[in-house]
Amino acid sequence: MFSNSAFEYAAMGMALVSLDGAWLQVNRTLCEIVGYSESELLATTLQAITHPDHLNADLNCMHQLLSGKIPCYHIETRYSHKFGHLVWILLSVSLVRSTNGLPLYFLAHIQDITNRKQTELALQESEERHRRLVELSPETIAVYSQGKFVYINPAGIRLLGASSLEAIIDKPILEIVHPKYRQTFERQIKQVQAAKRAVELPALKLVQLSGQVIDVEMNASSILYKGKPAVQVVLRDITERLEIERMKDEFISVISHELRTPLTSIRGSLGLLASGLLLAQPEKSQRMLEIAVSNTDRLIRLINEILDLDRISSGTENMEKQACNAADLMQQAVDEMQSMAEKNTITLCFSPLKALLWADRDRIIQVLTNLLSNAIKFSSPGTKVWLTAQKQGQEVVFQVTDQGRGIPADKIESIFERFQQVDASDSRQKGGTGLGLAISRHIVQQHSGRIWVSSIVNQGSSFYFTLPLLQKILR
């Protein structure tokens, strides 16, 4: 056995352990590490204070030493302290043999690495939390090195329209940057790398793997990724936000024009009347009053339709659906539009269809009158407008056809958007607001239907919309 002071006062724990694991000799440092006195420790075994999770590994290494497979071993393990807590240990063990080669006992060097392990575990937990946050982040987080992607989170995979991580890894980042922005992007990234800090970059356009172009905001920072210089980028898709801003600007522009024009006319008419200049001209006075009333009606119609569209598109307008006969809806719509048709010398024709629908009666009549009103307004005097319907499978297809000027091909897709008209002068000449078709589309969609148009310039247009039959709803 060892009895010299080098063993007793060594800065690390030292022990002699029997072949079956009993402590034979221990130094002061080991006693301090595990909290036991020398006598308490010598009365127990190495296995008794080793945490169960590490016991098999310890025993396996001891067996390999005994069998001569290894000359020594080093493992990290945990010992149970006398006061109940666990102590992380770096255990280094060698086998002492007799002069004739027989195993005598184990020589163990024991270092307390609890502080280091706690730091490592805390770092691992922090990295794991960071990894989970990155993986679950709704924003795209990507890392690229030497111009190629080396990491991208699931949100980024979705943003770029990829089917898997493999479709993006090692892909040059410039391939997804719109060509118009590539030089600017490269210059900005060099500035980021030089600054050694996170930098908010101006918005740019990216090209998804499908070829679709999207707008993004980007935050970039210079980092080390697996020991190598890299750039981390955080991307936010702002395509929808920019579209909303564009629509808002367009809405404000159109609204300001649509409100200002009739208000200016009303103000002019009332100003002339108030000045007394027309007192001796009753016919002109009457005409000024008619202009003021007409423009007031136009303002009221515009405001009502804006409110209508807002309620319907936001879903706050409750559709009071009930069983309706398609023929009755068609008849009422035609009756309401008959005087307008006669005033414009248009012949209104319709073929009623008896079919039960589950619909909001007033709202569907609103759709029919909107379509009929447009057909009449944009038809030449002496022509006809038809309202028909037919069953197709589990739905009814309504059709309003005119012989008017038609709709250019480039307007077919946008005609159902807010304030969209074939000609910008139509609102003044025809009296429309450009909201009727947008309202009609929302009403039809809330009835699980579809609405569309086919048209030939100078020959006419046909507007269609569908509604489900009542029997389909009841199934």
* C-beta of residue 328 within 8 angstroms of C-beta of residue 455: no
Rounded CA gap, 38 and 27, in Å? 8
What does each C-alpha distance from 431 to 50, 344, 372, 427 come to in angstroms? Answer: 90, 14, 15, 5
The three-class DSSP label of residue 157 is helix
Looking at the domain covering 241-313, what would its CATH class be? mainly alpha
Rounded CA gap, 450 and 444, in Å? 6
| All residues at 6 or more sequence positions from 292 whose CB lies less than 8 Å from its CB, including other chains | 265, 266, 269, 270
pLDDT of residue 428: 43
Do 5-114 and 318-474 share a fold?
A: no
* Pure H helices in 164-323: 182-195, 239-275, 282-314
Assign a CATH topology to domain 5-114: Beta-Lactamase (3.30.450)
Largest pairwise CA distance in the chain: 141
Rounded CA gap, 311 and 318, in Å? 9
* Pure H helices in 137-178: 154-159
Q: Which two tokens stand for residue 132?
A: 């989970």
Task: Write out the chain's pLDDT in tens, 475 residues.
Answer: 555 677 888 889 999 999 999 999 999 999 999 999 999 999 999 999 999 999 999 889 999 999 989 999 999 999 999 999 999 999 999 999 998 989 999 999 999 999 999 888 888 888 788 778 888 888 888 898 888 999 989 998 899 888 888 888 888 988 889 999 999 888 888 888 887 777 788 888 998 988 889 999 888 888 888 888 888 889 888 888 888 787 677 666 666 666 676 777 777 778 777 777 777 788 878 887 887 777 777 677 667 666 666 666 666 566 788 899 999 999 999 998 898 899 899 999 999 999 999 898 888 988 998 899 999 998 989 999 999 999 999 999 999 999 988 888 877 877 887 655 555 444 444 445 567 788 888 889 989 999 999 998 888 999 999 999 987 555 5
pLDDT of residue 43: 94
* Residue for token pair 């946008």: 414
- Concatenated DSSP letters of 396-463: EEEEEE--S----GGGTTTTTSTT--SSTTHHHHT---S-HHHHHHHHHHTTT--EEEEEETTTEEEE
Question: Which is it for the CA torsion 198, 200, 201, 204, positive or negative?
Answer: positive
Provide the 8-state DSSP code for 113: -
Q: What H or E segment, with its residue span, contains residue 70? A: none
| All residues at 6 or more sequence positions from 10 whose CB lies less than 8 Å from its CB, including other chains | 27, 29
The three-class DSSP label of residue 342 is helix
Assign a CATH topology to domain 137-237: Beta-Lactamase (3.30.450)
What does each C-alpha distance from 308 to 117, 121, 282, 360, 474 come to in angstroms? Answer: 66, 60, 38, 15, 29
Q: What is the CATH number of domain 318-474?
A: 3.30.565.10
pLDDT of residue 430: 46
* Residue for token pair 């795209």: 140
pLDDT of residue 42: 94
pLDDT of residue 135: 84
* C-beta of residue 456 within 8 angstroms of C-beta of residue 474: no
Q: Of 207, 150, 149, whose CA–CA distance to 177 is shortest? A: 207
Q: What H or E segment, with its residue span, contains residue 131? A: helix 114-136
| All residues at 6 or more sequence positions from 20 whose CB lies less than 8 Å from its CB, including other chains | 45
pLDDT of residue 429: 47
The structural domains of the chain, with segments of one domain joined by +, span 5-114, 137-237, 241-313, 318-474
* C-beta of residue 354 within 8 angstroms of C-beta of residue 327: yes
Rounded CA gap, 236 and 276, in Å? 62
Q: Give the β-pairing of 347-350 and 384-392.
A: parallel
Provide the 8-state DSSP code for 173: G
Rounded CA gap, 13 and 93, in Å? 12
Provide the 8-state DSSP code for 37: -
238-248 b/e (C-beta count within 10 Å ≥ 16 → b): eeeeeeeeeee
| All residues at 6 or more sequence positions from 39 whose CB lies less than 8 Å from its CB, including other chains | none
| All residues at 6 or more sequence positions from 97 whose CB lies less than 8 Å from its CB, including other chains | 103, 104
